[in-house]
Structure 1
Amino acid sequence: MLENPHDLARGLGHQAEAVCRYYLSNGRRQGNYWQVGDARNTPGRSMYVRLKDSPKGPAGKWTDAATGEHGDLLDVIRESRGLADFADVVEEARSFLSLPPPEREPIAPGRKEAPVAAGREAAQRLFSMSQPISQTLVETYLRARGITALHEAGSLRFHPRCYYRSDEHGPTETWPAMIAAVTDLSGKLTGVHRTWLDPDGFSEPHLGRAPIDTPRRAMGELLGHAVRFGLACDVMAAGEGIETMLSQRSVLAAMPMMAALSAAHLSAILFPVTLRRLYIARDNDPAGDGATSTLFERANSAGIEAIVLTPRLGDFNEDLRLLGLDALQATLRVQIAPQDVARFMAAA
Structure 2
Amino acid sequence: MDLPISPPLPPMLAKAVKAMPKGDLLYEPKWDGFRCIVFRDGDEVELSSRGEKPLTRYFPELVEAAKRELPERCVVDGEIVLRKGAKLEFDLLQQRIHPAASRVKMLSEEMPASFVAFDLLALGDESLMEVPLGERRQRLVDTLSGVEAPFHVTPASDSYELALQWFEEFEGAGLDGVIAKPRDIEYMPDKRALFKVKHERTADCVVAGFRWHKSGPIVGSLLLGIYNDQGQLQHVGVAASFTMKRREELVEELKPYLAEDLSEHPWGEWAKQSEATVDRMPGAVSRWTGKKDLSWVALRPELVVEVAYEAMEGNRFRHTARFRRWRTDRTPESCTYEQLEVPVAYDLDDIFSGGAGS
Fold shared by both chains (TM-score > 0.5): no
Bigger share in strand:
2
TM-score between the two structures when normalised by the length of structure 1: 0.24
Higher relative contact order (CA 8 A, sep 6+): 2
Larger Rg: 2
TM-score between the two structures when normalised by the length of structure 2: 0.24
Bigger share in helix:
1
